[in-house]
Every structure is written in C-alpha cells, then in structure tokens.
Structure 1
Amino acid sequence: MERKELFAYIAEHYQVNPEYLWKKNPNYAVLRHRHNRKWFAIVMDVEAEKLGLKGTQLEEIIDLKLEPELIEILQQSEGYLPAYHMNKQHWISIQLKKVAPEQILKLLEMSYELTK
C-alpha cells in the first residue's frame, strides 16, 4: 500500500490528516483522533536493520495499536514486526509493501477503535 493512498483513505474515513512532529524525521507521520488527540497510527520509513531485517534500505511501516493476542499471531506472518519505537506488547509494525491493503485497513480500524 502506498503512503499517499493510505492517507487519502484515512482522511476520507476518519477525517484525520497526518501530522509531522519531528524536524529530525520529517517523513514520520502521526495520525490521531481529533477529540482526544490519542495516536492510532504512525507511518515511518525506518532502516531495515533497526527493524531486525537485513540491509540498510528504508522500509515504510505503519505502527498500529492492537490486542496483544492478535499481535502475537500476526508476528508469525511475513510483513509483521515487533513495534518500532512503541510498546511491543500493544503495538505492531507492519511493512506497507508486504501486507495486503485490505488487511492493513482492517487492522487500522481496530487500532482506531482501541484508541477512542
């Protein structure tokens, strides 16, 4: 799934636009609820080796908050990694290019609901 496509979906379905909070990481985009300001997703491009993968190329990921039991199950499949820079029990990193868009959007909805 492309970042642009993901952000268009989020804007249409949740009326939320990405926020870019860090000068050091200008491509890191936070998505949060308008009413309580809680994050429900963060999209980042991170060096593969920082994610426990081989290589130094940038991997585009989305971190989502999910139930710990689901995280445990998902991490057994390709494209799902321990959360980068978030609580690994409650958050998961998903490689945008390796997981089907329908699955990402389904998990995005779960994250949105969990953080309401």
Structure 2
Amino acid sequence: MMKKTGLETMSIDDLWTLHERVSKVLSIRIASEKRELEKRLAYLNGGSAAIAREAELATRGVVEGKPRRKYPRVLPKYRNPSSPSETWSGRGKQPRWLVAAIKSGRKINDFKIEATGSSKAH
C-alpha cells in the first residue's frame, strides 16, 4: 500500500512552495540531462553536432559575438509594364509576372528600367 502524503490537507501556500521546489529541481535535472545528451551526441557525431548548432544559429542570423552584416539596398532593374509597382532587382528567383512574360515570347530586356537623369557622367 502507498503511504498518504497529506497533499489534500496541505495549505495552498505550502502546495505552491512544494510546486516551486519540484519545478526548480526538475529544471536543474533536465538541463543536466540535456548537457549529457549533447555531449554524447557530439561524441557520436565526431564533433559535428557543435558545427550543426552553429550553422543553425547562422541561418537565423545569430552568430555568437558577430552582428549580422548590413547589406546595401539594391535598386530594381526590371518593371512590370502592366503593373508598375511590381519590380525585380535581378537577384534571386524571377517573379511570376516576368516568368510568364518570358514564356509568352517577350525578352527580359523589354522590362529593363531605363536609367534616369541621375547619371554620374556630366
């Protein structure tokens, strides 16, 4: 038979204190267990677990000790004539409107934004 612990007769304050103590012990033990498992995983992977963690942080832009590099703004090079607010800088994947226009036989240069009067040569 199990011995009664008297939880039903304890006051709310006593129960809360017990809850806090149990939570603290659990968090310490879980953290310790996690560290041990990470050590074992790093050993089994030959150290590649630490590299994988660093790569994961880098993909989120969080490299320890290094802030993310600021990139200059890239101006658009191509514009959709039927919807002038749709532009593309020429980097990355081509937008759907451009892909559809090219498939219909138009050339990419048809959408090139002409340089305005802000040229450096006088």
TM-score normalised to the size of structure 2? 0.17
The higher radius of gyration belongs to 2
The structure whose residues are more often strand, as a share, is 1
Q: Greater relative contact order (Cα 8 A, min sep 6): structure 1 or 2?
A: 1
User: Of Structure 1 and Structure 2, which has the larger fraction of its residues in helix?
Assistant: 2
User: TM-score if structure 1 supplies the norm length?
Assistant: 0.17
